[in-house]
Protein backbone atom coordinates (compact mmCIF):
# COMPACT_ATOMS: atom_id res chain seq x y z
CA UNK A 1 0.00 0.00 0.00
CA UNK A 2 1.21 3.50 -0.83
CA UNK A 3 1.12 6.53 1.41
CA UNK A 4 -1.90 8.18 3.02
CA UNK A 5 -2.73 11.90 3.07
CA UNK A 6 -5.40 13.48 5.27
CA UNK A 7 -6.91 16.48 3.49
CA UNK A 8 -9.17 19.04 5.18
CA UNK A 9 -11.88 21.22 3.60
CA UNK A 10 -12.14 24.98 3.91
CA UNK A 11 -14.95 27.47 4.16
CA UNK A 12 -18.07 26.63 2.19
CA UNK A 13 -18.29 23.02 3.40
CA UNK A 14 -20.06 23.90 6.67
CA UNK A 15 -23.55 22.57 7.38
CA UNK A 16 -25.81 22.49 10.42
CA UNK A 17 -25.52 19.23 12.34
CA UNK A 18 -22.01 18.42 11.08
CA UNK A 19 -20.13 16.23 13.54
CA UNK A 20 -23.23 15.50 15.64
CA UNK A 21 -23.37 11.72 15.07
CA UNK A 22 -19.72 11.43 16.14
CA UNK A 23 -20.25 13.77 19.11
CA UNK A 24 -23.09 11.61 20.40
CA UNK A 25 -20.97 8.44 20.38
CA UNK A 26 -17.37 9.51 20.99
CA UNK A 27 -15.98 10.91 24.24
CA UNK A 28 -12.90 12.43 22.65
CA UNK A 29 -15.14 14.30 20.16
CA UNK A 30 -17.28 15.64 23.02
CA UNK A 31 -14.15 16.88 24.70
CA UNK A 32 -12.98 18.65 21.51
CA UNK A 33 -16.29 20.47 21.00
CA UNK A 34 -16.34 21.47 24.71
CA UNK A 35 -12.76 22.76 24.46
CA UNK A 36 -13.76 24.97 21.50
CA UNK A 37 -16.73 26.42 23.45
CA UNK A 38 -14.51 27.16 26.46
CA UNK A 39 -11.60 28.61 24.49
CA UNK A 40 -13.85 30.94 22.46
CA UNK A 41 -16.18 31.62 25.40
CA UNK A 42 -19.24 31.08 23.20
CA UNK A 43 -21.66 28.20 22.49
CA UNK A 44 -20.02 27.15 19.19
CA UNK A 45 -21.27 23.52 19.51
CA UNK A 46 -24.85 24.73 19.92
CA UNK A 47 -24.48 26.84 16.76
CA UNK A 48 -22.99 23.88 14.82
CA UNK A 49 -25.64 21.37 15.89
CA UNK A 50 -28.77 23.52 16.16
CA UNK A 51 -28.08 26.97 14.72
CA UNK A 52 -29.09 28.46 11.37
CA UNK A 53 -27.10 27.90 8.19
CA UNK A 54 -26.95 31.68 7.74
CA UNK A 55 -25.32 32.24 11.12
CA UNK A 56 -22.96 29.29 10.69
CA UNK A 57 -21.80 30.64 7.31
CA UNK A 58 -20.55 33.96 8.75
CA UNK A 59 -16.77 33.77 8.26
CA UNK A 60 -15.78 34.05 11.93
CA UNK A 61 -18.26 31.27 12.86
CA UNK A 62 -17.63 28.98 9.87
CA UNK A 63 -13.86 28.87 10.40
CA UNK A 64 -13.74 27.64 14.04
CA UNK A 65 -16.79 25.41 13.38
CA UNK A 66 -15.12 23.60 10.47
CA UNK A 67 -11.81 23.29 12.30
CA UNK A 68 -13.52 21.81 15.37
CA UNK A 69 -15.61 19.32 13.38
CA UNK A 70 -12.72 18.20 11.17
CA UNK A 71 -10.40 17.85 14.16
CA UNK A 72 -12.96 15.73 16.05
CA UNK A 73 -13.22 13.44 12.99
CA UNK A 74 -9.47 13.15 12.47
CA UNK A 75 -8.96 12.38 16.17
CA UNK A 76 -11.46 9.52 15.87
CA UNK A 77 -9.62 8.22 12.78
CA UNK A 78 -6.35 8.24 14.72
CA UNK A 79 -8.01 6.54 17.70
CA UNK A 80 -8.97 3.77 15.27
CA UNK A 81 -5.31 3.42 14.28
CA UNK A 82 -5.37 5.22 10.92
CA UNK A 83 -2.33 7.47 10.52
CA UNK A 84 -1.33 9.86 7.75
CA UNK A 85 2.06 10.28 6.08
CA UNK A 86 1.17 13.84 5.00
CA UNK A 87 -1.56 16.40 5.64
CA UNK A 88 -2.92 19.28 3.57
CA UNK A 89 -5.90 21.60 3.83
CA UNK A 90 -7.71 24.00 1.53
CA UNK A 91 -7.28 27.55 2.87
CA UNK A 92 -8.81 27.38 6.38
CA UNK A 93 -8.30 23.58 6.18
CA UNK A 94 -4.54 24.16 6.42
CA UNK A 95 -5.03 24.98 10.12
CA UNK A 96 -6.67 21.59 10.71
CA UNK A 97 -3.81 20.00 8.76
CA UNK A 98 -1.31 21.71 11.09
CA UNK A 99 -3.18 20.62 14.23
CA UNK A 100 -3.34 17.04 12.90
CA UNK A 101 0.42 17.19 12.22
CA UNK A 102 1.15 18.35 15.78
CA UNK A 103 2.42 21.81 14.77
CA UNK A 104 -0.27 23.85 16.57
CA UNK A 105 -2.42 22.95 19.57
CA UNK A 106 -6.16 22.71 18.90
CA UNK A 107 -6.89 25.47 21.46
CA UNK A 108 -4.48 27.88 19.78
CA UNK A 109 -5.78 27.00 16.32
CA UNK A 110 -9.47 27.45 17.16
CA UNK A 111 -8.75 30.85 18.72
CA UNK A 112 -6.56 31.89 15.77
CA UNK A 113 -9.11 30.98 13.10
CA UNK A 114 -11.89 32.78 14.97
CA UNK A 115 -9.69 35.90 14.87
CA UNK A 116 -8.69 35.17 11.26
CA UNK A 117 -12.39 35.13 10.34
CA UNK A 118 -12.99 38.44 12.13
CA UNK A 119 -10.01 40.08 10.38
CA UNK A 120 -11.06 38.76 6.95
CA UNK A 121 -14.62 39.98 7.51
CA UNK A 122 -13.38 43.44 8.56
CA UNK A 123 -10.70 43.89 5.86
CA UNK A 124 -13.12 44.88 3.10
CA UNK A 125 -16.60 46.36 3.72
CA UNK A 126 -19.38 43.97 2.71
CA UNK A 127 -20.28 44.14 -0.97
CA UNK A 128 -17.05 45.87 -2.04
CA UNK A 129 -15.16 42.65 -2.76
CA UNK A 130 -16.18 39.40 -4.41
CA UNK A 131 -15.02 36.08 -5.85
CA UNK A 132 -16.02 34.04 -8.91
CA UNK A 133 -15.22 30.55 -10.19
CA UNK A 134 -13.96 30.56 -13.77
CA UNK A 135 -14.46 27.27 -15.60
CA UNK A 136 -12.69 26.01 -18.69
CA UNK A 137 -9.69 28.34 -18.87
CA UNK A 138 -6.06 27.62 -18.05
CA UNK A 139 -4.24 29.56 -15.38
CA UNK A 140 -1.74 31.39 -17.62
CA UNK A 141 -4.50 32.79 -19.81
CA UNK A 142 -6.62 33.75 -16.81
CA UNK A 143 -3.65 35.34 -15.02
CA UNK A 144 -3.15 37.53 -18.07
CA UNK A 145 -6.78 38.67 -17.88
CA UNK A 146 -6.58 39.51 -14.15
CA UNK A 147 -3.25 41.35 -14.61
CA UNK A 148 -4.77 43.54 -17.33
CA UNK A 149 -7.84 44.40 -15.22
CA UNK A 150 -5.67 45.11 -12.14
CA UNK A 151 -3.31 47.30 -14.19
CA UNK A 152 -6.34 49.31 -15.34
CA UNK A 153 -7.21 50.10 -11.72
CA UNK A 154 -9.55 47.38 -10.38
CA UNK A 155 -7.66 44.84 -8.24
CA UNK A 156 -8.34 41.18 -9.09
CA UNK A 157 -6.19 38.02 -8.99
CA UNK A 158 -6.19 34.23 -9.04
CA UNK A 159 -7.28 33.00 -5.59
CA UNK A 160 -7.80 29.23 -5.73
CA UNK A 161 -6.20 27.03 -8.38
CA UNK A 162 -8.42 24.04 -7.63
CA UNK A 163 -8.06 21.58 -10.51
CA UNK A 164 -7.64 21.73 -14.30
CA UNK A 165 -10.31 24.07 -15.66
CA UNK A 166 -11.53 25.39 -12.29
CA UNK A 167 -9.93 28.55 -10.93
CA UNK A 168 -11.41 31.05 -8.50
CA UNK A 169 -10.64 34.76 -8.91
CA UNK A 170 -10.91 37.34 -6.14
CA UNK A 171 -10.75 41.12 -5.82
CA UNK A 172 -12.91 44.22 -5.89
CA UNK A 173 -16.53 43.57 -6.93
CA UNK A 174 -15.96 45.57 -10.12
CA UNK A 175 -12.61 43.88 -10.83
CA UNK A 176 -14.15 40.41 -10.55
CA UNK A 177 -17.06 41.46 -12.78
CA UNK A 178 -14.75 42.86 -15.47
CA UNK A 179 -12.36 39.89 -15.32
CA UNK A 180 -15.29 37.42 -15.51
CA UNK A 181 -16.63 39.13 -18.63
CA UNK A 182 -13.18 39.30 -20.23
CA UNK A 183 -12.44 35.64 -19.38
CA UNK A 184 -15.68 34.57 -21.08
CA UNK A 185 -14.76 36.73 -24.07
CA UNK A 186 -11.39 34.94 -24.17
CA UNK A 187 -12.84 31.42 -24.18
CA UNK A 188 -13.79 30.54 -20.59
CA UNK A 189 -16.90 28.33 -20.49
CA UNK A 190 -18.47 30.04 -17.49
CA UNK A 191 -17.79 32.47 -14.67
CA UNK A 192 -19.93 31.90 -11.59
CA UNK A 193 -20.08 34.47 -8.76
CA UNK A 194 -19.50 32.82 -5.36
CA UNK A 195 -21.55 33.37 -2.20
CA UNK A 196 -18.75 34.75 -0.04
CA UNK A 197 -18.52 37.72 2.28
CA UNK A 198 -15.20 39.02 0.97
CA UNK A 199 -12.37 38.84 -1.57
CA UNK A 200 -10.34 36.09 0.10
CA UNK A 201 -6.80 35.24 -1.07
CA UNK A 202 -6.41 38.57 -2.83
CA UNK A 203 -4.20 41.62 -2.21
CA UNK A 204 -7.19 43.21 -0.45
CA UNK A 205 -6.59 40.80 2.46
CA UNK A 206 -3.22 42.36 3.35
CA UNK A 207 -4.69 44.38 6.28
CA UNK A 208 -6.14 41.14 7.68
CA UNK A 209 -2.75 39.42 7.25
CA UNK A 210 -1.05 42.15 9.31
CA UNK A 211 -3.51 41.65 12.17
CA UNK A 212 -3.22 37.87 11.91
CA UNK A 213 0.54 38.21 12.29
CA UNK A 214 -0.06 39.80 15.70
CA UNK A 215 -2.15 36.82 16.83
CA UNK A 216 0.33 34.27 15.46
CA UNK A 217 3.16 35.98 17.37
CA UNK A 218 1.39 34.84 20.58
CA UNK A 219 0.91 31.26 19.40
CA UNK A 220 3.41 28.44 19.95
CA UNK A 221 4.16 26.67 16.69
CA UNK A 222 6.15 23.46 16.96
CA UNK A 223 8.00 21.29 14.49
CA UNK A 224 5.34 19.33 12.58
CA UNK A 225 5.53 15.57 13.24
CA UNK A 226 4.61 14.87 9.61
CA UNK A 227 5.00 17.20 6.62
CA UNK A 228 2.14 19.58 5.80
CA UNK A 229 1.77 20.73 2.19
CA UNK A 230 1.63 24.53 2.17
CA UNK A 231 -1.13 26.31 0.19
CA UNK A 232 1.29 29.08 -0.74
CA UNK A 233 4.13 26.96 -2.17
CA UNK A 234 2.53 23.51 -2.64
CA UNK A 235 5.66 22.14 -0.95
CA UNK A 236 6.02 20.18 2.31
CA UNK A 237 6.78 22.27 5.40
CA UNK A 238 7.63 21.25 8.97
CA UNK A 239 9.65 24.17 10.42
CA UNK A 240 7.85 26.54 12.87
CA UNK A 241 9.22 29.77 11.38
CA UNK A 242 8.24 28.75 7.87
CA UNK A 243 4.79 27.59 8.99
CA UNK A 244 4.08 30.95 10.63
CA UNK A 245 5.26 32.92 7.60
CA UNK A 246 3.18 30.85 5.19
CA UNK A 247 0.01 31.21 7.30
CA UNK A 248 0.33 34.99 7.04
CA UNK A 249 1.07 34.94 3.29
CA UNK A 250 -1.77 32.49 2.75
CA UNK A 251 -4.40 35.18 3.39
CA UNK A 252 -3.46 37.18 0.29
CA UNK A 253 -1.85 34.47 -1.88
CA UNK A 254 -3.53 31.96 -4.19
CA UNK A 255 -4.33 28.51 -2.79
CA UNK A 256 -2.30 26.17 -5.01
CA UNK A 257 -4.58 23.18 -4.49
CA UNK A 258 -3.97 21.43 -7.79
CA UNK A 259 -0.19 21.77 -7.31
CA UNK A 260 -0.47 20.52 -3.70
CA UNK A 261 -2.28 17.37 -4.82
CA UNK A 262 0.34 16.79 -7.54
CA UNK A 263 3.08 17.19 -4.90
CA UNK A 264 1.40 14.51 -2.76
CA UNK A 265 1.12 12.20 -5.78
CA UNK A 266 4.85 12.71 -6.48
CA UNK A 267 5.57 11.83 -2.83
CA UNK A 268 3.88 8.45 -3.33
CA UNK A 269 0.42 9.16 -1.89
CA UNK A 270 -2.21 6.89 -3.42
CA UNK A 271 -4.88 7.17 -0.70
CA UNK A 272 -6.53 10.49 0.14
CA UNK A 273 -8.88 10.76 3.12
CA UNK A 274 -11.01 13.92 3.09
CA UNK A 275 -11.73 14.59 6.76
CA UNK A 276 -14.59 16.99 7.42
CA UNK A 277 -18.02 17.86 6.05
CA UNK A 278 -18.75 17.68 2.32
CA UNK A 279 -16.89 16.04 -0.55
CA UNK A 280 -15.49 19.08 -2.34
CA UNK A 281 -11.81 18.11 -2.14
CA UNK A 282 -12.44 14.51 -3.16
CA UNK A 283 -14.15 15.80 -6.30
CA UNK A 284 -11.21 18.09 -7.12
CA UNK A 285 -8.66 15.32 -6.50
CA UNK A 286 -10.57 13.01 -8.89
CA UNK A 287 -10.28 15.65 -11.60
CA UNK A 288 -6.52 15.79 -11.03
CA UNK A 289 -5.93 12.01 -10.91
CA UNK A 290 -8.65 9.41 -11.37
CA UNK A 291 -6.49 6.48 -10.27
CA UNK A 292 -6.15 7.32 -6.55
CA UNK A 293 -8.25 5.99 -3.67
CA UNK A 294 -10.44 8.69 -2.14
CA UNK A 295 -12.33 8.25 1.13
CA UNK A 296 -14.65 10.79 2.69
CA UNK A 297 -14.95 10.91 6.50
CA UNK A 298 -17.73 13.34 7.38
CA UNK A 299 -19.72 11.54 10.12
CA UNK A 300 -19.80 8.41 12.29
CA UNK A 301 -21.04 6.19 9.46
CA UNK A 302 -18.40 7.22 6.89
CA UNK A 303 -15.74 7.07 9.61
CA UNK A 304 -16.61 3.45 10.45
CA UNK A 305 -16.76 2.48 6.78
CA UNK A 306 -13.42 4.10 5.94
CA UNK A 307 -11.67 2.47 8.91
CA UNK A 308 -13.01 -0.97 7.89
CA UNK A 309 -11.95 -0.51 4.24
CA UNK A 310 -8.43 0.64 5.19
CA UNK A 311 -7.95 -2.11 7.79
CA UNK A 312 -8.91 -4.71 5.16
CA UNK A 313 -6.43 -3.18 2.69
CA UNK A 314 -3.66 -3.27 5.31
CA UNK A 315 -4.44 -6.84 6.40
Which one of 142, 163, 196 terminates a domain? 196
CATH number of the domain encompassing residue 165: 3.30.70.250
CATH number of the domain encompassing residue 55: 3.40.366.10
**Catalytic positions:** 91, 201
State which residues form the domain around 18: 3-123+204-314
Which one of 178, 196, 214 terminates a domain? 196
Produce one character per residue of 86-98: b if its CB has 16 or more CB atoms within 10 Å, e if not.
bbbbbbbbbbbbb
3-class DSSP state for residue 130?
strand
In the chain, how many domains are there?
2
Alpha carbon 88 to chain centroid distance? 8
- Could you give the CA distance from residue 154 to residue 63 in angstroms, rounded to a whole number? 28
**Cβ count near 151 (within 10 Å):** 9
Q: What is the pLDDT of residues 175-191, one digit of tens each?
A: 999 999 999 999 999 99
Mean pLDDT confidence for 119-124: 94
Assess whether pLDDT exceeds 90 at residue 53.
yes
The pTM of the whole model exceeds 0.85: yes
Residues 179 and 297 placed together within one structural domain of the fold: no
Residues 159 and 301 placed together within one structural domain of the fold: no
Q: What is the pLDDT of residues 256-315, one digit of tens each?
A: 999 999 999 999 999 999 999 999 999 999 999 999 999 999 999 999 999 999 999 887
Amino acid sequence: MGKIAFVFPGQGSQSIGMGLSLYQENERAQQIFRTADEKLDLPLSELIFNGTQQELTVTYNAQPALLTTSYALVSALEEAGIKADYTAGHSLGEYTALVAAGAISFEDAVYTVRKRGEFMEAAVPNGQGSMAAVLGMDREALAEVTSEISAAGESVQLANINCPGQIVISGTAEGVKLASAKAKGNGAKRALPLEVSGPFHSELMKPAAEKLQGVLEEVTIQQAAIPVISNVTAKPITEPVEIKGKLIEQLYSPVLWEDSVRTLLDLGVDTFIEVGPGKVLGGLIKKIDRSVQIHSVSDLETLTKTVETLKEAQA
